[in-house]
Structure 1
Amino acid sequence: MRTQVAIVGGGPSGLLLAQLLHLQGISSVVLERKTKDYVLGRIRAGVLEVGLVDQLRAAGVGERLDADGITHDGTVISYGDEQIRIDFAAHTDQTVTVYGQTEVTRDLYAAREEMGGAFVFEVENVEIKDADTDQPYVTYQKDGTGHRIDCDYVAGCDGFHGVSRQSIPTDKRKEFEKVYPFGWLGILSETPPVHEELIYASSDAGFALCSMRNANLSRYYIQCAMDDDVRNWSDDAFWDALRRRIPAEHAEMLVTGPSIEKSIAPLRSFVCEPMQWGRLFLCGDAAHIVPPTGAKGLNTAASDVHYLSQALIAHYKDGDNSGIEGYSQKALARVWKAERFSWWMTSLLHRFPDQSEFDIKMQQADVAFLRDNANAQAVLAQNYVGLPY
């Protein structure tokens, strides 16, 4: 098989890249090691920056997003019972959109199926070969049979545990990582959200996040030990813990119900440099991970897709290779800013096991400065809605 761009990974970043390239007449094949149903069963974040929303519309998959997405022009930061509303619209003249990553992926799959785009599910033993030459290719097995895809370029969109990053020789890449000493226990429940906007809550008992997918589907998280197990948490225990961590006025209004999904996610910050080697490019979690505080995971992957799609389009349409040659540098410049913001939000709002009384006083002073300083609120708003591409 021959294609212009082989895309390893059938999640939202790989599918969005494929769609943007297709609209410019650039062929691709998407390889995914799981089934489509498995990919669509992943429960992920749902806060979309304006840049990602614009890309989805440009990719022709904005219809359901525009109909069902919930526009938010602010968010709430709380510390105990004190609440600070960050007004995105006032500080940036922009908003974010709440629309589940699962729905984004569903829309992108529907678009690729409609256009007859090539993708292969349940692939095994994927290997990226000769990426440092002008004739890269990808091999894989499907149902025990070996296959080969010859291509001009390879886009590694296969996540933190995928093969793409590992295909770059260890002496050609450097990895930066911070593992946080806690995780997030999250549940999905068919209940109305406790508040019309997201609440990022810090308390003596730990962090909590109140989010939503729609008017009758809520997503809640609480900070937990990194080695905790979901089997240790009944629904009642979760709701009780959440009530203790959010402002009392919202705790009293919280509508509870049975969870329809419950999981624990570890938190880490991670970056791989560079994000390209020869004709192999890394996108999204294959190159970087952020803690979910600040909603930057999918959005940072989307900025990678923007830079890479524009670079490949310029190459094929105009013979301009400057975007390809500068992809890693440009992508990493924005990635590190997103990493900083996510690290800061995480440090501001969580309780750390070795935290001293001095450290807690510093958190409180940081929150007080945010409360009293419009410029500090503007900086948070600018980062939250998304820095320009």
Structure 2
Amino acid sequence: MPHVLVAGAGPVGLTTAVLLAEAGMTVEVFEAADTIGRQPKASTFHPPTLDLLHRVGLAEPLIAQGLKAPVHQHRDRERGLVANFDHAHLADDTGFPFRLQAEQHKLCELLLDRLGDRVRFRHRVLGVTQDERGVFACVEGPDGPMVAQGDHLVDAGGASGAVRQALGIGFEGFTYEDRYLVLLTRFPFEDHLPGLENVNYISDPDEYVVLLRAPDAWRVLFPVREEIRDPAVWERMLQSVVPSPTPYEVLHHQLYFVHQRVAERFKQGRVLLIGDAAHVNSPIGGMGMNNGIHDAFALVPALKSGDPAALGSWAEQRRRVALDYVRLITDRNARALGEKDPAQRLESQRELAAVAADPVRARAHLLDSSMLNAVRGQGLLPC
């Protein structure tokens, strides 16, 4: 069985490691940080991701720590409700007809429990070389530099990881003009916006909003054109969503650039790119982490087979999903929320409402937005 090195202990790297270990392979994970990250990053798990995690006994304990969102909602800041998309239309397509709102670190904690001392924290992968004998990772640890040897290295180290850069693999795409500002607050939006769901996309030509409810707080996402770290400006933005006589309490804030980029190849020799190391996209629609987890479930059988052709096929197929599916849908989602032409925005919203009202069209829409079509197209789940 192959000996596999994994760079990065985020949800994608740890999922990969657990699947490798349960397939009987030797695995070592290297992570630069002291522990798993607990910053509020990805928080949406789509139905097919839960179907896949169910196979390894992780869906149910994750669901127990999260918040089910059977409906996701589209609204307009002026006109209010546009459409509700009910995942009940997918009851025959998945064992989990809902989105799950749970911070990614909750999955990481479950995965870490499975891996034990296979994960080495405070070990940063700085580069990689390879030859016919194997792959050699240069690792900086608390006791100094070391070289780890394996049959393959899976780079799950994120968009700015050293492995892809060391290999000279291009990261093609673009960066949006807007950055995203995410504010966490316990303000009860559900008490002030009638019919609000746990996942809400609120369009506006000047300042659209995404409201995502997690078990402990609401995540409020705004597009911004500049760095905004002034709490007074945050207060103005939150007050524009729901006026409150008392100031909002902001529990956490995050400001980040948004990219649409895909690596020019997902495989170079014995090195395999996965998750954000291979593809990054707009978070509107919650597909990034999910797509990385799907990468892992597709990769491990190919690694176990020992067939170089299977790994080449995996790399080509997963790159096509990133380019032709995730990139297109997430970019369309982001642009639709900020559509500035009033007539076009109204026409699009009327069409969205018509789709949601038709069970056949609603199911077809949800098969795409839930990522079931993408996963089925790769043979990861039955049609």
Secondary structure in structure 1 of the residue aligned to 2:9: coil
Moved more, 296-305 or 204-213: 204-213
Distance 1:9 1:142 in 2: 14
Please point out which of 318, 326, 329 is paired with 1:341. Answer: 329
Which AA in structure 1 matches 2:154?
A: A
Taking a change above 3 Å as real, the CA distance of residues 29 and 164 of structure 1, as seen in their structure-2 partners, is same
Q: 2:372 matched to 1:381? A: no
Secondary structure in structure 2 of the residue aligned to 1:348: helix
Please point out which of 161, 181, 192 is paired with 1:185. Answer: 181
Q: Give the alignment's TM-score, normalised by structure 1.
A: 0.84
Q: Give the alignment's TM-score, normalised by structure 2.
A: 0.86
For 1:271, the equivalent position in structure 2 comes to 262
Please point out which of 33, 36, 39 is paired with 1:42. Answer: 39
Taking a change above 3 Å as real, the CA distance of residues 193 and 276 of structure 1, as seen in their structure-2 partners, is farther
Please point out which of 315, 322, 336 is paired with 1:328. Answer: 315
* Cα drift, residue 188 of structure 1: 1.4
Secondary structure in structure 2 of the residue aligned to 1:167: helix
Query: Contact (CA 8 Å) 1:230, 1:263: kept in 2 or not?
Result: no
For 1:246, the equivalent position in structure 2 comes to none
Moved more, 255-264 or 325-334: 255-264
* Cα drift, residue 379 of structure 1: 4.1
* Cα drift, residue 134 of structure 1: 4.7
Distance 2:189 2:3 in 1: 45
Which AA in structure 2 matches 1:112?
A: L
**Superposition pairs of residues 278-289 of structure 1, within 5 angstroms:** 278-289=269-280
**Superposition pairs of residues 230-241 of structure 1, within 5 angstroms:** 230-231=229-230, 233-241=232-240
Please point out which of 80, 86, 106 is paired with 1:103. Answer: 106
* Cα drift, residue 6 of structure 1: 0.4
* Cα drift, residue 313 of structure 1: 2.5
Query: Contact (CA 8 Å) 1:157, 1:164: kept in 2 or not?
Result: no
Which AA in structure 2 matches 1:207?
A: Y
For 1:141, the equivalent position in structure 2 comes to 140
Runs of 5+ in structure 1 lacking a partner? 244-250
Distance 1:14 1:125 in 2: 13
Q: Deviations over 1:159-217 (max 9, x none)?
A: 00001211333xxx443212211122111123445233311001244210111111x42
Distance 2:66 2:297 in 1: 21
Query: Contact (CA 8 Å) 1:92, 1:381: kept in 2 or not?
Result: no
Query: Contact (CA 8 Å) 2:46, 2:100: kept in 1 or not?
Result: yes
Query: Contact (CA 8 Å) 2:125, 2:163: kept in 1 or not?
Result: no
Alignment identity in percent? 18
Secondary structure in structure 2 of the residue aligned to 1:77: strand
Secondary structure in structure 2 of the residue aligned to 1:40: coil
* Cα drift, residue 229 of structure 1: 2.0
For 1:223, the equivalent position in structure 2 comes to 223
Secondary structure in structure 2 of the residue aligned to 1:178: strand
Query: Contact (CA 8 Å) 2:126, 2:163: kept in 1 or not?
Result: no
Which AA in structure 1 matches 2:33?
A: K
* Cα drift, residue 27 of structure 1: 0.9
For 2:193, the equivalent position in structure 1 comes to none
* Cα drift, residue 157 of structure 1: 0.1
Taking a change above 3 Å as real, the CA distance of residues 52 and 202 of structure 1, as seen in their structure-2 partners, is same
For 2:212, the equivalent position in structure 1 comes to 211
Backbone CA RMSD of aligned residues: 2.5
Moved more, 152-161 or 265-274: 265-274
Taking a change above 3 Å as real, the CA distance of residues 376 and 233 of structure 1, as seen in their structure-2 partners, is farther
* Cα drift, residue 10 of structure 1: 1.0
* Cα drift, residue 347 of structure 1: 0.8
Moved more, 17-26 or 144-153: 144-153
Taking a change above 3 Å as real, the CA distance of residues 271 and 286 of structure 1, as seen in their structure-2 partners, is same
